[in-house]
Structure 1
Amino acid sequence: MRDRIDDEITFRKLEVLLAFMQTGSLAKAAEALNVSTVSVHRALHSLEQGVRCALFRHEGRNLRSTDAAQMLADVAQEVITLMSDGIRATREAAGYSSDRLKIGSLYSLTIRTVPGIVVDIKVRRPALQVELVLGPNAELIEKLKQGAIDAALMALPDAEPEIESIPLFEDDIFFAAPANSPYANLEAVDLRDCRDETFVSLGEGFATYHGFQEAFRVAEFTPNVTMRVGDIFSLMNLVSGGVGYTLLPGRVRDVFGDKVQLIALKPPYRMRQTIGVSFLRARERDPNLLALMAVCRLRTRNEG
């Protein structure tokens, strides 16, 4: 069984030893480490206590290293290098500061928001490979918690202690109808006038689906939903083809040109989505996520 390493021997003290051995003086080592000379002296004396042998000798006011100190410094350099490499490998295995960033996103954000963010982050970190994972809000939150993605661009989730979110922008929800619909020329739609209409919607787990449910709860009737789909572009296709009406966020307004009209809802049913970037609090110091956050904050300021 190996001898137990004394608690007085730490990585920080070994770094102090290396600084002293490289500079040759307490003052220069202190300057290199941005600490006081007294702190350097105490660290070196503490190492002597930890290894239980003399590492230095005094020559007047100067402190000189012994062969034992040089031996410990050589080993310390190997240990610190190995541990640094090990920490880097560990972080990369967990997705921290690797050369790949997995960003989850709502389908609707791929129109403008996602391309802009990807371009900006590539400018900051050209070697970074960005992978996009699309899905509904509920699915993206689960992937985030499981570590399957590094960050998610989505409607801000309910507050959770393990998730940090940065708001990007707010988006109004509209009544969506085909261009030739009787509702197309209205300034605003009263959902209570739509009791007899046919609707289509996204499935559960989508942020827009929850807004859809809430709007009809306020209107005090259950809509006749004939079809549910798994992405917002398929939903818009159904609306443009006259299969049914729905509610859509304003960010998709220009996708189908004049084929789908987005009409304001009357005040009782008006609602907004807050779109942002979410990530695990435990990873908030990951360099790749710091770059992503910086890009998102800059875009928010520029577009605000």
Structure 2
Amino acid sequence: MRLNLRQIEVFRAIMQTGSISRAAGLLNVSQPAVSRLLSYTEQRLGLKLFERIKGRLYPTPEAKRLFVEVNLVYQGVQRVNEVAEDLIEHRMGHLRLACVPSLGQGLLPHAIARFLAKYPDVRVSLFTMRPHVLINALLTQQADLALVFLTDPHPSIEATQIYGNRLVAALPANHPLTARNVVSLEDLAAEKFIGYSHDTQIGQFMRQLFADAGLTIRPAVEVQQVDIACAMVQTGIGVALIDEITPLAPVWTRVVVRPVENAVDTPVNLLRATFEPMSRIGQAFIDVLQDMKKDWSSLRSPTF
């Protein structure tokens, strides 16, 4: 390599100031150090860069041509520094989030709105996926962070609980059980019930929940997602067990939720790949999620 960055810096300073002494002052080094480096640079290049005429330095045509390219290098370095500053201040970047569909209608819109209010220049992509697809998206670096509940542990995925997220009863707006302050699993098992298919984690969880209570349910309809269960409830088909975050979405205007006796949590977990370092904007989004916990009561359903 004929020129290193220090040689380029000294050459540029001399071209800008027109003298070795002023270049030394600009770089905050001694004048002899600049002279020695200039001499070494000319020797390495095999080019005469400056002529001394009556005590003044004059750049040769070769130096003027080289200066054009040197300025391009400095513009590139300046751009690198600007990008670094933008990343530090969260003025640019791309945050890729994944979640199960129900969280994409309630929790995530709240969180993303707060995040973009603080960092309006960051681009956010949100992917809604079933849990097993979501895990693969993290492992293949298609997503930076993911939000789920009822996820199975994975050796390469780190899970952190963000919210407690209790199970609640979802009822059609005109259903008799809406007159109750609290409903039981027995109440729900006696109704036309909307359940979840056997091949889903929530379906397996719900069946075990009823079995532990000594109850058997025979769903009138089975779905795979909590938000679809809400849609079924809204049409009056029956009742369902859902998590308390899902009905935060404004689309469920004819769904009434009630606490369930001895309710259990289906915690919302934040997932990330353990082998991937956390980006600054990723950590900033996590901070927003944590801040939302402080005023979680303002987001939860008014029936609570």
Structure 1 length as normaliser, TM-score? 0.58
State the 1:138 CA deviation.
2.8
Aligned length: 272
User: Between Structure 1 and Structure 2, whose CA radius of gyration is higher?
Assistant: 2
State the 1:198 CA deviation.
4.1
Q: Which of these residues, 127, 136, 143, is aligned with residue 137 of structure 2?
A: 143
State the 1:290 CA deviation.
2.9
- 1:28-67 pair list within 5 angstroms: none
Q: Which amino acid aligns with 1:189?
A: S
Cα distance in 1, alignment partners of residues 262 and 271 from structure 2: 30
State the 1:181 CA deviation.
4.3
Partner of 1:113: 107
Cα distance in 2, alignment partners of residues 122 and 196 from structure 1: 43
- Is 2:295 aligned against 1:297? no
Partner of 1:188: 183
**Contact map agreement 1:168 1:275 (CA 8 A) in 2:** yes
Deviations 1:61-109 (A, max 9, x none): xxxxxxxxxxxxxx999999989999xx9xxxxxxx9743322123332
Unaligned stretches of 5+ residues in structure 1: 31-47, 49-74, 90-96
Q: Which of these residues, 126, 151, 157, is aligned with residue 132 of structure 1?
A: 126
Unaligned stretches of 5+ residues in structure 2: 17-21, 29-39, 41-68, 84-90, 298-304
Cα distance in 1, alignment partners of residues 208 and 78 from structure 2: 52
Partner of 2:97: 103
Q: Which amino acid aligns with 1:264?
A: V
**Contact map agreement 1:103 1:132 (CA 8 A) in 2:** yes
SS at match of 1:225: coil
Deviations 1:132-182 (A, max 9, x none): 211233322222222222222222743634x34443321100233334245
Q: Which of these residues, 206, 209, 214, is aligned with residue 208 of structure 2?
A: 214
Shift in CA distance, 172/14, structure 1 to aligned 2, threshold 3 Å: farther
SS at match of 1:187: coil
Deviations 1:208-257 (A, max 9, x none): 43532331342345532343334433212323444343210112346534
Q: Which amino acid aligns with 2:293?
A: T
State the 1:126 CA deviation.
1.9
Cα distance in 1, alignment partners of residues 231 and 217 from structure 2: 19
Cα distance in 1, alignment partners of residues 108 and 269 from structure 2: 12
Structure 2 length as normaliser, TM-score? 0.58
Identity across the alignment (%): 14
Cα distance in 2, alignment partners of residues 172 and 14 from structure 1: 65
Q: Which of these residues, 257, 264, 277, is aligned with residue 260 of structure 2?
A: 264
**Contact map agreement 2:10 2:23 (CA 8 A) in 1:** no
- Is 2:237 aligned against 1:243? yes
**Contact map agreement 1:200 1:225 (CA 8 A) in 2:** yes
**Contact map agreement 1:199 1:246 (CA 8 A) in 2:** yes
Q: Which amino acid aligns with 1:247?
A: L
State the 1:280 CA deviation.
5.3
Shift in CA distance, 108/121, structure 1 to aligned 2, threshold 3 Å: same
**Contact map agreement 1:176 1:261 (CA 8 A) in 2:** yes
Q: Which amino acid aligns with 1:122?
A: L
